[in-house]
């Protein structure tokens, strides 16, 4: 692994003051690397901080602490024109294809805009690039003249993807890019993202609450709970050998096509408040395996240095392992 990671995040914190001296610990000390050409998935329940973390990586909100390196370059404190130029390499595809396109601009101009802002190429080169991008994402060149409302949801997401590709970025942050789309359209967009990754050698930071989608697209996965990463590993490690009880609960809650696959593991209650996160392991209050130690000390993410890591004192204890075996048994 001599090549620099596409993105390297170290001890990232994003805190929001909410008045009265209170602070929301939305992202509370996360570290991960995204190697070049890899799709990296961040999963977790609403409020886990996954979107805040991803937006901080694109510097769309301000990190409170930690460093963000994009292709080896520290972008944590860049601003103004320097940050704009750095965004050549990192672009975002947003969740809502209706709200993220300017309704008064024609589709061609929307896709050209990042190149205009960053001063890339001559006007003629930009126009040619827009044609090329339309073809890449499966739109016709004559659709450049249309306005966003004249497209379907799936087509709008294609415009969003074309815009993100315009500056030839190395990394694209995808924030729930298919969750607003119908199932049939979702497959079209996921296949497009998969094809672009293979053809252009792109890396993705992919946010989704849908584990099926994440499993399909992402090579590496980090599971977030209340602002922290509780488990991280490759696709096969996370789904074949989940080690954190929270990861197991998430996987167990996904309805599958085989009746009787529901192992009946249920999480009670909601995550605690990110304003005053509890002492010790943040999941302890909802964890069926929690012991006294879990409520007093915070477990550290540990394991294989370049591979599967988990933040749980009990991950290797017999009863946790036994539940995992029950959950991950592949039906005959």
Enumerate residues 14-53 that contact another protein by CB under 8 A. Answer: 45-47
Report the b/e string of 118-149 with b at 16+ CB within 10 A: bebeeeeebeebbeebbebbbbeeebbebebe
CA–CA gap between residue 317 and residue 156 (Å, rounded): 48
Report the b/e string of 275-300 with b at 16+ CB within 10 A: eebeebbbbbbbbebbeeebeeebbe
254 binds another protein (CB under 8 A): yes
By CB under 8 A, which span of 84-92, 97-105, 164-172, 185-193 interacts with another protein?
A: 185-193
CA–CA gap between residue 228 and residue 211 (Å, rounded): 18
Nearer to another protein, 162 or 251 (CB): 251
216 binds another protein (CB under 8 A): yes
Give the β-pairing of 39-43 and 220-225. parallel
Choosing from 22, 77, 168, 195, the residue that interacts with another protein (CB under 8 A) is 195
Locate 43 and state its tokens. Answer: 């999963």
215 binds another protein (CB under 8 A): yes
Measure Cα distances from 1 to 4, 34, 83 in Å.
8, 12, 27
270 binds another protein (CB under 8 A): yes
CB of 130 to another protein, least distance (A): 24
CB of 9 to another protein, least distance (A): 24
Nearer to another protein, 35 or 194 (CB): 194
Choosing from 20, 142, 183, 332, the residue that interacts with another protein (CB under 8 A) is 183
Choosing from 123, 201, 212, 307, the residue that interacts with another protein (CB under 8 A) is 212
Gyration radius (Cα) of the chain, Å = 21
330 binds another protein (CB under 8 A): yes
Choosing from 4, 84, 106, 209, the residue that interacts with another protein (CB under 8 A) is 209
257 binds another protein (CB under 8 A): yes
**Would you say 65 and 244 are in contact if contact means Cβ atoms under 8 Å apart?**
no
3-state helix, strand and coil shares in percent for the chain, rounded to the nearest 5 = 35, 20, 40
How big is the site for another protein, counted in residues (CB under 8 A)?
Answer: 49
263 binds another protein (CB under 8 A): no
Nearer to another protein, 190 or 321 (CB): 190
326 binds another protein (CB under 8 A): no
Locate 313 and state its tokens. Answer: 């004192």
152 binds another protein (CB under 8 A): yes
CB of 261 to another protein, least distance (A): 8
DSSP string, 28-39: EEEEEEE-TT-E
Nearer to another protein, 80 or 269 (CB): 269
Nearer to another protein, 140 or 268 (CB): 268
CB of 176 to another protein, least distance (A): 12
306 binds another protein (CB under 8 A): no
CA–CA gap between residue 291 and residue 274 (Å, rounded): 22
Residue 310 CB partners (closer than 8 Å, separation 6+): 230, 231, 232, 243, 244, 301, 302, 303
Q: Applying CB under 8 A, which residues contact another protein?
A: 45-47, 152, 154, 182-188, 190-191, 194-195, 209, 211-213, 215-217, 219, 235-236, 239-240, 249-251, 253-259, 262, 266-270, 327-331
């Amino acid at each position: 692994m001599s090549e620099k990671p596409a993105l390297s995040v170290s001890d990232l914190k994003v805190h929001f003051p909410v008045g009265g001296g209170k602070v929301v610990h939305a992202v509370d000390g996360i570290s991960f690397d995204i190697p070049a050409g890899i799709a990296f998935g961040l999963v977790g329940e609403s409020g886990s901080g996954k979107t805040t973390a991803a937006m901080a990586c694109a510097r769309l909100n301000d990190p409170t602490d930690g460093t963000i390196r994009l292709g080896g370059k520290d972008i944590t404190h860049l601003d103004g024109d320097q940050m704009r130029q750095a965004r050549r390499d990192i672009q975002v595809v947003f969740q809502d294809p209706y709200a993220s396109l300017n309704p008064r601009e024609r589709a061609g101009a929307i896709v050209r805009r990042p190149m205009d802002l960053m001063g890339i190429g001559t006007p003629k080169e930009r126009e040619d690039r827009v044609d090329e991008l339309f073809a890449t994402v499966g739109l016709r060149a004559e659709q450049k003249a249309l306005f966003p409302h004249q497209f379907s949801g799936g087509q709008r997401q294609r415009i969003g993807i074309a815009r993100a590709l315009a500056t030839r970025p190395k990394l694209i942050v995808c924030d729930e890019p298919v969750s607003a789309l119908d199932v049939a359209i979702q497959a079209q967009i996921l296949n497009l993202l998969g094809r672009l990754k293979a053809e252009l050698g792109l890396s993705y930071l992919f946010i989704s609450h849908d584990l099926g989608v994440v499993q399909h697209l992402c090579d590496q996965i980090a599971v977030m709970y209340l602002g922290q990463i509780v488990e991280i590993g490759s696709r096969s490690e996370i789904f074949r050998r989940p080690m954190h009880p929270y990861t197991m609960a998430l996987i167990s809650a996904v309805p599958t096509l085989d009746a009787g696959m529901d192992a009946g593991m249920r999480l009670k209650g909601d995550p605690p408040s990110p304003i005053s996160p509890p002492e010790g392991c943040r999941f302890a209050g909802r964890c069926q395996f929690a012991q006294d130690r879990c409520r007093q000390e915070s477990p550290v993410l540990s394991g294989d240095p370049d591979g599967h890591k988990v933040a749980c004192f009990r991950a290797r204890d017999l009863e946790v392992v036994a539940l995992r075996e029950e959950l991950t048994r592949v039906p005959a």
